[in-house]
Amino acid sequence: MLTLLAPAKVNLSLEVLYRRNDGYHELRSIIQSLSLCDRLSFSPAKTVQISSDSPDWQAEHSLVSKAVALFSEKCGQGRGVNLTIAKRIPLVSGLGGDSSCAAAVLKGLNKLWGCGYPRWRLMELGAELGSDVPFFMMGGTAMMEGRGETVTPLPTLNQMWAVLLVPEIEMPPDKTAALYRNLHTDSFSSGEISDKLLEDICQGKLSYSSCFNVFEKIAFTLFPDLAKYRWQFLEAGAYQIFLAGAGPTLFTLLKDKNMAEKIYHNLCQKGHQAYLVSTLGPLD
């Protein structure tokens, strides 16, 4: 049996440069993977069977089954797999769980079926599945550009602690597309915010003032309940709160583990769905 971890991520910066002619948006984003991981187990089988321990997770609506179908078409005709997923990353949370699992599926089947595709080819296939998938082929700290398919690994951040607060807000199924649709040209930026953050990271530091998410304003408008969660996060002791990707998860980053634990416990006491995790370097 082969087991792979599929980590969650947050965007430390997420800038949209402009709207492209193909309808997508040109991005510049620095992404960081987290120690909160789904776990995928692959074993040989005659047919394709996919299951998970999460009652709310449906294989047919996930990128996982799309990844299996795509990889079968490219390399695994007639081959099977028994794939089980221990889901730990909350669904539709902005933490990239589905994309990360899709990347792990491509990596796992490549090994299980002995296809020997190089990483760049797996990244190409990943980009066919979704804009965030190529990043998860390596994880760690990376700059993401283009539609998401251009990923440049960056020096690994010194370990930091992240507290995640997952609001109980129902998200529309096309949440990400809806956020992009609602962006105005005045939300676009030049990429300088990510460049500044990149400079900080290369010097081994991370300054909160350089963190940025283009969706933040629009998410608080489209999902007004987010403000209530933000307020409760502040009350729990956090002072720099960011939106994770397309949300609705909110997060704070800290160097001090004791402080992170305090905030995490305060949130749990109030009955929130919260996680205390650390930043994670690249997976092999």
Catalytic positions: 9, 132
Query: Which residues within the stretch 138-177 sit at the binding site for ligand C5P (CB under 6 A)?
Result: 147-148, 176-177
Instruction: Between 133 and 138, name the residue whose CB sits nearer to ligand C5P.
Output: 133
Instruction: Between 66 and 87, name the residue whose CB sits nearer to ligand C5P.
Output: 66
For ligand C5P, how many residues bind (rule: CB under 6 A)? Answer: 11
Query: Which residues within the stretch 115-134 sit at the binding site for ligand C5P (CB under 6 A)?
Result: 130-132
Residue nearest to ligand C5P (CB): 131
Instruction: Between 76 and 90, name the residue whose CB sits nearer to ligand C5P.
Output: 90
Q: Choose the binding region for ligand C5P from 21-29, 75-83, 109-117, 268-276 (rule: CB under 6 A).
A: 21-29
Q: Identify the CA nearest to 74 among candidates 143, 121, 22.
A: 121
What is the CA 32 to chain-centroid distance, rounded?
8
Q: How far is the CB of 248 from ligand C5P (least distance, A)?
A: 16
Residue 275 makes contact with ligand C5P by CB under 6 A: no
Q: How far, in Å, are 38, 67, 106, 201, 262 from residue 99 at the CA level?
A: 11, 10, 11, 25, 31
Residue 27 makes contact with ligand C5P by CB under 6 A: yes
Q: Identify the CA nearest to 164 among candidates 62, 94, 235, 225.
A: 94
Instruction: Between 106 and 274, name the residue whose CB sits nearer to ligand C5P.
Output: 106
Largest Cα–Cα distance in the chain?
Answer: 55
Residue 96 makes contact with ligand C5P by CB under 6 A: no
Q: Length of the chain, please?
A: 284
Q: How far is the CB of 130 from ligand C5P (least distance, A)?
A: 4
Mention every residue, 6+ apart, whose C-beta is less than 8 A from residue 282: 33, 138, 139, 140, 153, 156
Q: In the block, which residue shows the tokens 């608080």?
A: 220
What is the CA 94 to chain-centroid distance, rounded?
6
Instruction: Between 76 and 96, name the residue whose CB sits nearer to ligand C5P.
Output: 96
- Cβ atoms within 10 Å of 200's Cβ, excluding its own: 18
Give the footprint of ligand C5P on this chain (CB under 6 A): 24-25, 27, 130-132, 147-148, 176-177, 180
